[in-house]
Amino acid sequence: MSKFYLGNPTNTLAVINRYEFAFQKKFGQNFLIDQGIVEKIVREAGVTKDDFVLEIGPGIGTMTQILCENAREVAAVEIDRKLIPILNDTLSEYDNVTIINDDIHKVWDIVFAVEKYSEWRSDLSKTEIINEKQFIEYTKDGYATKFSITTIEPYKRWEFDMENSNMSGHWIGIFTAKGNETQIDFTENVTPKKWIMKPFVKIYLKKQQEQFVLDLKKALE
């Protein structure tokens, strides 16, 4: 049995009618109905299994389905609570997606308030602000990782270098407008400093990002 993809008029209307969904003008809602366009957007964004993607305004999950098939992890932030049960249904086959019912502006404020990380992130004991472009995160065990911000464009792009005794790397967050949605592609390029750590880097990053999303979801409740 083939998967029930949403990227065509028939399937989109079927879902909308099943849930008796009414479009909200204040949210500027409209849904993609061309599977080819959806796949092209994700392909041209360069999403791979190394990426954590934050999608803003997933609607009924049309693009989210394809993102889940191409990315390592996806977090979908939807402000309209009436779409949450629909998303829970249309994305039920994917185990690498987290659905967050909230406003992206609130999400942004929490994620970029580095000095308050220890208030909601379960993996950290504290953060130390060195200056406006550098900060240090300390795990519960006191292990330190230094971050140096290289680029920041509000709601568009955030980049920083990161380093600790085991690895060094670069993190990129790119915010891209896709019609009435915003796709955010998080990419981490990490180089282990010790050869023995190389097999564990991807596992560690996946676990860390999954916990970050879980903590963020709780912080938004």
| Distance in angstroms (rounded) separating the CA atoms of residues 17 and 14 | 5
Of the chain, the end-to-end C-alpha distance in Å amounts to 37
What are the pLDDT digits (tens) for 28-70? 555 666 778 888 888 888 888 878 888 877 888 888 898 999 9
Label residues 23-42 b or e (16+ Cβ within 10 Å = b). Answer: eeeeeebebbbebeebbebb
What's the sign of the alpha-carbon dihedral 127, 139, 49, 104? Answer: negative
Give the tens place of pLDDT for each residue, 135-155: 999 999 999 999 999 998 876
Q: How crowded is residue 78: how many other Cβ atoms within 10 Å of its Cβ?
A: 25
Whether CATH 3.30.530.20 fits 1-221: yes
**pLDDT tens per residue, range 72-120:** 888 888 877 888 888 888 888 898 888 887 777 777 788 888 999 999 9
CB 77, CB 22: distance < 8 Å = no
Signed CA dihedral, 175, 113, 115, 200: sign only: negative
* Mean pLDDT score, 192-215: 79
In angstroms, the Cα distances linking 131 to 135, 197, 215 are: 7, 30, 25
CA distance 195 to 110: 35
When pLDDT is cut at 50, 70 and 90, the band that residue 212 belongs to is confident
For the chain, the domains span 1-221
Task: Return the number of other C-beta atoms located less than 10 Å from residue 209's C-beta.
Answer: 17
